[in-house]
Amino acid sequence: MEELIQRGAEAEIYRSTWKGRPVVIKRRTEKSYRLPDIDRILRRQRTRQEALLLSAARRGGTATPIIYDVDLSAAAITMEYVAGRRVKDCIDALDEPEQQRICQKIGEGVAGLHRQDIVHGDITTSNLIMSRGRMYFIDFGLGEKSSAMEDRGVDLHLLMEAFAAAHRHPDLFSWVMEAYEAAVPWGREVRRKVADIAERGRYVVRE
């Protein structure tokens, strides 16, 4: 039995069970606006990339769902269902010390990924789930292996924008950044990158 729980731009998310375990099946759906051959290659590639990065991140100590099965021709990943709350859905209602704690976990989590030369590519609050006191990272389909400071900056800048767009408290991102800086030796450099990228963004908008 599969139950559709979410239909995103790229994928459908189903809840199901696999050998008695609660799982999520993420299936990338066909896109009719792409040429069929290209569509198949793209879905296959992103599924593969996501599965590889999910497991690499997990091996490196980041909390990510366990992968049970990957079916490249169906562009589907069967993974552990992470029971918890998305940061998107809970952070605004928490009191400030709790928010701070959550942001610290996010910053440490991103640091953990970057230490393994993984950039997530889509760090938004809907791709972060708090579960059993750990911060889970999901949705690695746009991620890549990189140790470039620019890529690390882009990764964090996206989260900055996500916070600014969807959440009220103005300090959320600075708490993330503080925790990140405390956890990696290149923290100041990436902080500067984030500021540069934000500045470039403003410049483009003014033009």
Ligand X SMILES: Nc1ncnc2c1ncn2[C@@H]1O[C@H](COP(=O)(O)OP(=O)(O)O)[C@@H](O)[C@H]1O
Report the residue number, 139 or 151, with the smaller CB distance to ligand X: 139
Enumerate residues 6+ apart whose C-beta is below 8 A from 81.
15, 21, 22, 23, 24, 65
Catalytic residue among 122, 139, 151, 155: 122
State the nearest-atom distance from the C-beta of 5 to ligand X, in Å: 6
Chain residues in the site for Mg ion (CB under 5 A): 127, 139
159 is a contact residue toward ligand X (CB under 6 A): no
Q: State how far the Cα of 116 lies from the Cα of 120, in Å rounded to an integer.
A: 11
Going through 94-141 in order, the beta strands assigned E by DSSP cover 118-119, 128-131, 134-137
111 is a contact residue toward ligand X (CB under 6 A): no
Q: Does residue 117 contact residue 171 with C-beta atoms inside 8 Å?
A: no
Only segment of 35-43, 111-119, 133-141, 194-202 that touches ligand X (CB under 6 A)? 133-141
Going through 87-180 in order, the beta strands assigned E by DSSP cover 118-119, 128-131, 134-137, 144-145
143 is a contact residue toward ligand X (CB under 6 A): no
By CB under 6 A, name the binding residues for ligand X. Answer: 6, 8, 10-11, 13, 24, 26, 65, 79-82, 86, 126-127, 138-139, 141
Positions marked catalytic:
122
